[in-house]
Amino acid sequence: MHGHILSRRSAFAKNSILEEERIVESLKKKGRKVIELNRGDPPVYFPTPKYIIDAYVNALHANHTGYSRAEGVFELIDAIQRRYSRMYNIAVHEHDVIVTAGITEGLSFLNAALINEGDAAVIFSPYYNQYMSQLRMDGGIPILERYDESNGWNIDTESVRRSLSRLKAQKRLHKVKYMIITNPNNPTGTVLKRSVLEEIADIANDNGVLLVSDEIYDEIVYNGARFTTMSRIAKGMPHVILNGASKDYDATGFRIGYMIVPERDRLSIQLKDKLADLARVRLSVNTPAQYAVAEAMNNVKEHNRALRNMVSSIERSVNYATKRINDNPYLSVVRPNGAFYILPRVDFSSLKLKDDHELVDKLLKSEGVQLTRGSGFGAPSHIRIVALPPKEILGYAMDKIDDFCARNARKR
């Protein structure tokens, strides 16, 4: 073997959410209890509804076990069309949908279709960490804008407009291939305001930048918030919606996501065709899972029942964890109203811990509570907590976090 076997881009293959797995495994082997609040995996606490499991099993018995149509089976595409029509009054065309192995595969398709070495994408921080890893792995450069904590983690749209004007003046705007937002947001739990979405759509349109909206938590909204899909706001302009079965349908392990790319103009037709080419290159998505998700979407009654239970439990857990965090003198957090994450700010100046790495590492080893460091999301003054578990488990973890902070407090 030569001295350098690994590619340069593979250096970006990092997932901060899973970086402590080895330590967790060894703690568990030693018989230690570990509360894992790092992974946003609903089926761990809310078993995937039985009607969806039955649909999966039925698909197997019906012999749906071969490769599927590369862009997704028509039964699932039809269910997605019905979902968008029912929930958002949006007419999705059958050829505008590409089914992917989770949004995760959709992100890599987007980059494969759009990003040449040195091209850029606008990403808002704190960001869902995969946007950054995948973009960098695919040779792209992030242009970082911000969700503004002092503004409830919404976006200061004027600052985005100014940044794009600057890029235009520097003749670099043509390198910017897309701008991606997450609504509701991971890791902040914010549901973006409609007025902000309208501004963002205008900015993308005025600058000729493709707008991508990751709406994987679109039904996990609470505390009275209202979610607006970008597909309604950006109706007349090129855009991509990313969504999937992982969270709303409580089926992360099925690995079913989808992209909706309305054919608005020559460029979006080119993009959609290229995404279909990419889908054909990887042949197929899990076939029985596609049938199961079609049933999950079409059985509105069962879905609504399961969703109501899950979302009300998440609302209780998130609000409880938020209160406990804000009662801790070293932490503070903006209350989320969507998804199931909370992103507390840490007052490191009052703690004998140098940064979020040290906090997450020591908390895990000494208290058996696993969180994720904020720097993995571009927010080094923060830590991320998955607030899916019920109050009893979260309460235990919060007690441990309180003790840990008190023990590591600087003497004043």
Ligand X SMILES: Cc1ncc(COP(=O)(O)O)c(C=O)c1O
Residues that bind ligand X (CB under 6 A): 40, 102-104, 128, 182, 186, 214, 216, 244, 246, 252, 257
CB-based contacts of 264, cutoff 8 Å, min separation 6: 236, 237, 238, 239
Q: Alpha helices of 138-190 — where are they, by DSSP H?
A: 157-169
Nearer to ligand X, 81 or 190 (CB): 190
Distance, CA of 184 to CA of 309 (rounded, Å): 19
**Cβ nearer to ligand X, comparing 246 with 322:** 246
Q: How far is the CB of 366 from ligand X (least distance, A)?
A: 27
Shortest distance, position 131 Cβ to ligand X, whole Å: 8
Query: Residues 135, 142: contact at Cβ < 8 Å?
Result: yes
> Which C-beta is closer to ligand X: that of 108 or that of 163?
108
Indicate the residue among 368 and 374 with the shorter CB distance to ligand X. Answer: 374
Question: How far apart, in whole angstroms, are the C-alpha atoms of residue 381 and residue 402?
Answer: 17
Q: Which strands, in side-by-side order, build the sheet including 372-373?
A: 341-342, 383-386, 372-373
- Closer CB to ligand X, residue 20 or residue 367? 20
Specify the residue, 107 or 113, whose C-beta has the smaller distance to ligand X. Answer: 107
Instruction: Give dist(CA 266, CA 276) in Å, integer.
Output: 16
User: Would you say 132 or 216 has its CB closer to ligand X?
Assistant: 216
> What Rg, from alpha-carbon coordinates, does the chain have?
21
Tokens of 116: 């040449």
389 to 11, 141, 370: CA distances (angstroms): 33, 36, 13
Cβ distance 382 to 348 under 8 Å? no
For ligand X, which is the closer residue by CB, 257 or 336? 257
- Whichever of 49 and 102 has its CB closer to ligand X, that residue is 102
Q: Could you tell me the two tokens for 291?
A: 């049938």
- Sheet order of strands, 176-182 included: 97-100, 257-260, 239-244, 210-214, 176-182, 120-125, 141-148, 154-155
* H or E element at residue 80: helix 74-88
- Smallest distance from ligand X to CB 184, Å: 9
- CA torsion through residues 112, 116, 122, 126, sign: positive
Closest CB to ligand X among residues 81, 182? 182
Torsion of Cα atoms, 394 then 396 then 401 then 403, to 10°: 160
Q: Considering the complex, what minimum distance in angstroms separates the CB of residue 187 from ligand X?
A: 8
Phi, psi of 178 (to 5 degrees): -160, 165
Q: Do the bridges between strand 97-100 and strand 257-260 make them parallel or antiparallel, or are there none, so unpaired?
A: antiparallel
User: What are the strands, taking DSSP E only, across 104-201?
Assistant: 120-125, 141-148, 154-155, 176-182
